[in-house]
């Protein structure tokens, strides 16, 4: 049905189940060939912190999953999110990426999460720490054959100019997000619309209440209320941004960061 509607399903997974090549084949045969494996740690010992006692097994399953992708002949993207632990694991990150050698690698900045209890930024690096980590990772990876890119949701002015220019020249950067532009819709499993997956418990609309079909969804998406919400999400975090010629590329970084950190202390 999805194929007929030209909707392409994408699988984002921890990769463990894909270590079973028969299961992997079934998924591919069912039409899912856009696969991202999210890497939570860069060695077995670090995986042990997430799943005590299972680090070796999990790490080996991920390696097998990537091998299976190569045997089956589908591409796989490895996704890495930068957390506090990453600062001391950059060599391990490089080693595992070289070993896996996936088709592509996306490196995301950890951003805060909003839930019923407020804003959570557990183990996240602050925007300056993220900028320095990006610089270090790029210096480690730039002379390899790895196909990596950074999704820079931090103020671009925090990154060393030479490194930033090099990243853009090599096409290794994605910036800004769909939220302020209204260019993407995110649904939860129970039909709620959320701004992005960092707002799972803060729905902004609901199927059956705010809309029940495509036309109504479109009408809901362009209401004054939605436009105002998007406009709030695209506010300048700092006076300097108003005059900055990088605003369109940068957007001041993920606006969620400024729920937790004070932009005055970071944007220069």
In the complex, the smallest distance separating the C-beta of residue 255 from ligand SF4, rounded to whole angstroms, is 6
Using CB under 6 A, which of the segments 129-137, 139-147, 221-229, 250-258 binds ligand SF4?
250-258
The string of DSSP codes covering 163-227 is HHHHHHHTT-EEE--HHHHT---EE-TTSEEESSTT-TT--SEEBTTTBSSHHHHHHHHTSHHHH
Q: Which of 156, 164, 173, 194 binds ligand SF4 (CB under 6 A)?
A: 156
Q: Which of 167, 254, 258, 261 binds ligand SF4 (CB under 6 A)?
A: 254
| Binding mask of the shown chain, residues 111 to 140, with x at each position contacting ligand SF4 by CB under 6 A | x-----------------------------
By C-beta, is 74 or 174 nearer to ligand SF4?
Answer: 174
- Asked if 83 and 110 count as a contact pair (C-beta separation under 8 A), the reply is yes
Report if residue 196 touches ligand SF4, rule: CB under 6 A.
yes
Using CB under 6 A as the binding rule, the residues of this chain from 214 to 243 that contact ligand SF4 are 238, 240-241
Strand pairing category for 113-115 and 118-120? antiparallel
Please report, to the nearest 10 degrees, the dihedral formed by the alpha carbons of residues 132, 133, 137, 140 taken in order.
60
- Tokens 């950059």 identify what position? 90
Q: Which residue has the tokens 């800004």?
A: 176
Kindly list the residues in this chain that would bind ligand SF4 in the complex (CB under 6 A). Answer: 111, 153, 155-157, 177, 179, 196, 198, 238, 240-241, 244, 246-247, 250, 252, 254-256, 267
């Amino acid at each position: 049905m999805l194929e007929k509607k030209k909707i392409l399903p994408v699988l984002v997974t921890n990769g463990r189940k894909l270590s079973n090549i028969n299961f992997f084949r079934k998924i591919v045969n069912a039409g899912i060939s856009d696969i991202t494996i999210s890497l939570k740690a860069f060695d077995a010992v670090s995986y042990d912190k997430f799943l005590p006692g299972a680090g070796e097994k999990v790490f080996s399953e991920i390696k097998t999953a990537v091998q299976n992708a190569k045997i089956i002949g589908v591409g796989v993207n490895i996704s890495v999110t930068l957390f506090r632990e990453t600062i001391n694991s950059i060599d391990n990150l490089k080693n595992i990426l070289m070993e896996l050698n996936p088709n592509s690698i996306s490196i995301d900045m950890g951003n805060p999460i909003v839930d019923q209890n407020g804003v959570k930024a557990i183990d996240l690096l602050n925007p300056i720490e993220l900028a320095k980590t990006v610089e270090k990772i790029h210096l480690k990876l730039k002379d390899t054959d790895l196909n990596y890119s950074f999704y820079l949701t931090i103020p671009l002015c925090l990154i060393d100019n030479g490194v930033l220019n090099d990243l853009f020249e090599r096409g290794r950067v994605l910036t800004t997000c769909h939220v302020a532009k209204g260019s993407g819709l995110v649904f939860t499993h129970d039909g709620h619309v959320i701004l992005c997956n960092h707002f799972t418990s803060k729905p902004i609309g609901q199927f059956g209440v705010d809309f029940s079909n495509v036309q109504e969804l479109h009408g809901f998406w362009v209401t004054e209320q939605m436009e105002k919400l998007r406009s709030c999400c695209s506010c300048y975090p700092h006076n300097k941004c108003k005059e900055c010629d990088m605003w369109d590329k940068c957007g001041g970084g993920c606006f969620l960061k400024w729920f937790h950190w004070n932009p005055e202390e970071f944007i220069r």
